[in-house]
Amino acid sequence: MLKYALITAVLIVLVATEIKAETLVIPPEIPTALELSNRDINRIVCPGTINDLIFSEEKRMTGHFSGNNAFIKFKVEQLGEKEFSYADTPSELFVVCDNTVYTMITTPQDIPSVTLRLTPAQGKNLQKNIADFKELPLEKRVLQVIHEAYNEIFPSSYGVTDMGVSVTLTPDLEIRLIQVVDVDGVGLRLKKYAVKSLVQHELTVEEKTFLTPQVSNSILAVAVDTHNLQAGASTLAFVVEQKEQDQ
């Protein structure tokens, strides 16, 4: 059960996070070196429509695309009854996604399937975020961002930065800022905190602990995952702020 507060707390229930396969985020225009599975099918996800997929079949790469998805697989050669040869030669892969070219230098490896999420150009990020949020009132915008952060599933148009900054708000809690999520074009920023109890008895974590200028001067909402912590137990807290009002 997760609570959020638009300065005062209101109850909301969110579903549990799912376990995801390895996912890599790929920017446009800049060549990116990465590893793909040489055994399993690899997936590419475009924020728009995939226009073309260009690769060298001589490097034993195969692929096809439809809509916003493309799939890449390396050919496996059979050498004997129980002997196989797997691709290991680096190869260039070009994806034309939403009329933008993405360049990847791929190295086939003996690893599980990889999903590549292509990020739109900055201008397209703004347009997508504005379009996705324009019909929502502020409260529902905030709830949507918290829900996405709780489930760790973000649209490719968001800017997600991993952090590792300690924050002292109370002597009873160890608090670390572990992630910052910017929703450009909408003016929202979410901060995700890891919170751990430092006391030897049950402790209640309250939203008001985070309502301080040390966290932000423009807080719209605070959400705490688990409020009652046993000794040494941990939880997550989410703070949503209005970016334009930063001081």
Would you call 228 exposed, middle or buried from its count of C-beta atoms within 10 A (0-12, 13-18, 19+)? exposed
**What are 88-103's pLDDT values in tens digits?**
999 999 999 888 899 9
Domains, in order of start, for the chain: 2-19+137-245 (no CATH), 28-118 (2.60.40)
Please tell me the distance from the alpha carbon of residue 55 to that of residue 114, in angstroms, as a whole number: 17
**Model's pTM, two decimal places?**
0.58
Give the pLDDT score at 13: 27
Q: Is the pLDDT of residue 6 over 60?
A: no
* Residues of the chain by 3-state class (helix, strand, coil), percent to 5: 15, 45, 40
Please tell me the distance from the alpha carbon of residue 144 to that of residue 247, in angstroms, as a whole number: 25
Contact predicate 63/52, CB 8 Å = no
**What are 196-247's pLDDT values in tens digits?**
999 999 999 999 999 999 999 999 999 999 999 999 999 999 999 998 544 3
